[in-house]
Chains A and B, each alone.
Chain A
């Protein structure tokens, strides 16, 4: 096997954005491979600029490299120009730090952030020279592991992976790697190795569980090894203040999607929006202390040289003493030289006030996510804000001088009708009219509409996705409506890409075949509209003898066996059922009122 360093200099002059492949960035960590007991490469199945914005990567890179006897390097999905060069020159995919091929590592760990990156995962394994299927890889190959939100239903990827980690890995990953280093010296078969590892917290070894089907329906997930847990429980950090957090993350040379320092205020979200997977899998809410946040922020700016710091979380204005924190931040970060930003604003007056204190200088636009335009539908999804609150918040923003709003909506939510969709138009029209006089200039609204995708481990996990043809109809209602509305910029998500995402989000193990066929047919970067080809995917599903609609449109019953039933996010199924009933109940209440 190829184990020399890959010489890339001659390739660099022939690709776009060569800085994606350089490594050697500030704070990157290059260790001697012979000095450690276990070597892992963190693989992000998307472009460098996307992956380098991922907070999970920064946290895990830090928490593993803290240990002298462990090392972690990075690799990202090569863009097609680099992929072609690698294939033409018969060069393997390499890690950025050492330029060594992926095959020399003990572990290749994929970050599974979104379903549409799955083809990149397989393509990267292929570029690394690894057999795709776990069964076909002996102990001489690296272990292929995965984590991140998609690991909560990784079934479509199951045959390709040796194990998944469920939950937050910053504490257990270093332990797992050390354990692996020890076991590799003593254990003789890969199965024994996996058996030992399957007893670690949060570890799911898919080959130890076998899904059984009757007449095409999943009926049972049979555990094959007694040692393996009946249900794999997610792992999570108990005390955020004590968890490792990177204050010297790698600073990219080229602009990443999020090119700033990030400090995490708290993990989890108490809001409980029913469509939101993050809201459930990151439970419970754990807060970082203000002292720790301030201390981390100061070190982050010192360690990176960034001029912006983002106060991140799923709903940052919910931080208990956020206004005090913002004031203290200003003192710590020499005012005017470091900007502070809040990424996830709630649509209320309090948040607008906060945004205003943070903002020195020109007020361009504020972003909010009402998600649905009628109060009825917002109750269904448990995004509990009233129209009155929306208007009072926007009014405050207008008075403070903000001139533009970015609004996020979803279509295809459970119980949605055409009326709910038309209400998006009405709401935007009303916003424009109400604030016309109050604003100094006219108000620019940009509306972005995505398609609802039911996800595992949410109260809507039993719900089907809205049929593609109706999604298109509703997008058309919006397109033609906004066409006649001045000052509103409308954008929408590709309905076919959202459909495919829905197929995989609640998919089972049989989908792995379609995935393999899709990669063979050339599918890559499916989340990028310029690469996405629905036609190729249709062919792949035909070859695999599977139907996309069986997955996307499937309505599960409460008693049905779900493909992720053996994976425990620590919220009981009863809670999801109750929440689901309440959601649908809101709809019924409304109808009986009519």
Chain B
């Protein structure tokens, strides 16, 4: 048995695919590649495949992680060659390496992710820029930002997500437009999604400022508690 961890990018062509659809897409591509997939035990065996952190709908990405088990040892170079051939335009494999089958799951290592969010409107006026600036200051000065969601038992749970915002900086240039650099915690210990963050930032934007809810979000990279390569064989 062997285990391969790999990185990939996702561009706008495939940004509107949900996490479950991404899993299905990868598994079908792997099946087509004829690589010797390792299956789980039980009534309905499925390939042992995971993606480190779900990508929200509409978000592009520069360095995502996934991992997959094979029933025999597979060279990372061979893996890339075989799988890349089966992936649609919009997904690109960038690296792959063997890791110990004993190492913790890639999903368990995720701590945070960094994002760039760009206002889709390319040349916003001064009013909008200062609105966003003020709104960001106000948001960061809060001690509590409450996110409500329904859990599996259909109960509404409130979480303070303020501590999960590690970094949020604004950057404006005439050529590139209005951009935010974010570092947001994510993973099993809790986190905040960039989509929710931007909704809070937009807040109750005045009617004469349309378009403030439209951002193109790019996840630059995932941040891990441990070097995901450190468990390499």
Contacts and interface: CB of A to CB of B under 8 A. Distances in A.
A25 interface: yes
Contact of A18 (B29, B43, B57): B57
Contacts of A253: 17, 21, 24-25
A125 B21 CA distance: 31
B76 interface: no
A251 B32 CA distance: 12
Contact of B32 (A18, A302, A337): A302
Contacts of A90: none
B120 interface: yes
B21 A254 contact: yes
Contacts of B57: 13, 18
Contact of B18 (A19, A307, A337): A19
B131 interface: no
A24 B89 contact: yes
A511 B55 CA distance: 49
Interface residue tally on B, bucketed by range: 20 to 34
Contact of A19 (B16, B30, B32, B43): B16
B214 A10 contact: yes
Interface in B154-184: none
Contacts of A24: 13-14, 88-90
Contacts of B25: 26, 253
B39 interface: yes
Contacts of A26: 25, 28-29, 86, 88
Contacts of A254: 17-18, 21
B28 A25 contact: no
Contacts of B14: 22, 24
B58 interface: yes
Interface string A17-31: 011001011100000
B106 interface: no
Contacts of B148: none
A336 interface: yes
A185 interface: no
A115 B31 CA distance: 39
A148 interface: no
Interface in B24-55: 24-25, 27-32, 34, 39, 43-45
Interface string A522-543: 0000000000000000000000
A362 interface: yes
A22 B28 contact: no
A9 to B, nearest CB: 6
A361 interface: yes
A508 to B, nearest CB: 44
A583 B210 CA distance: 67
A306 interface: yes
Interface residue tally on A, bucketed by range: 20 to 34
B28 A306 contact: yes
A305 interface: yes
Contact of A9 (B12, B30, B90): B12
B28 A12 contact: no
A26 B28 CA distance: 10
A302 B27 CA distance: 13
A102 B39 CA distance: 44
A307 B31 contact: yes
Scoring A254, A306, A362 by chain B CB atoms within 10 A of each residue's CB, the highest score goes to: A254
B222 to A, nearest CB: 23
A386 interface: no
A261 to B, nearest CB: 11
Nearest to B25: A253
B32 A304 contact: yes
B16 A361 contact: no
A515 to B, nearest CB: 34
Scoring A10, A19, A305, A362 by chain B CB atoms within 10 A of each residue's CB, the highest score goes to: A305
A305 B12 contact: no
A361 B45 CA distance: 10
A180 B14 CA distance: 36
A303 interface: yes
Interface in A234-275: 251, 253-255
Nearest to B213: A13
Contact of A22 (B16, B30, B44, B45): B16
A304 B43 contact: no
A22 B39 CA distance: 31
Contacts of A336: 45
Contacts of B89: 24
A304 B90 CA distance: 18
27 contacts: A10-B120, A12-B16, A13-B58, A13-B214, A18-B58, A24-B88, A24-B89, A24-B90, A26-B25, A26-B86, A253-B24, A253-B25, A254-B17, A254-B18, A255-B21, A255-B24, A301-B31, A305-B27, A305-B29, A305-B30, A305-B31, A305-B32, A306-B31, A307-B31, A337-B39, A361-B44, A362-B43
Given A251-B28, A255-B21, 9 more contacts: A12-B16, A12-B58, A22-B13, A24-B13, A24-B88, A24-B90, A26-B25, A26-B29, A304-B28
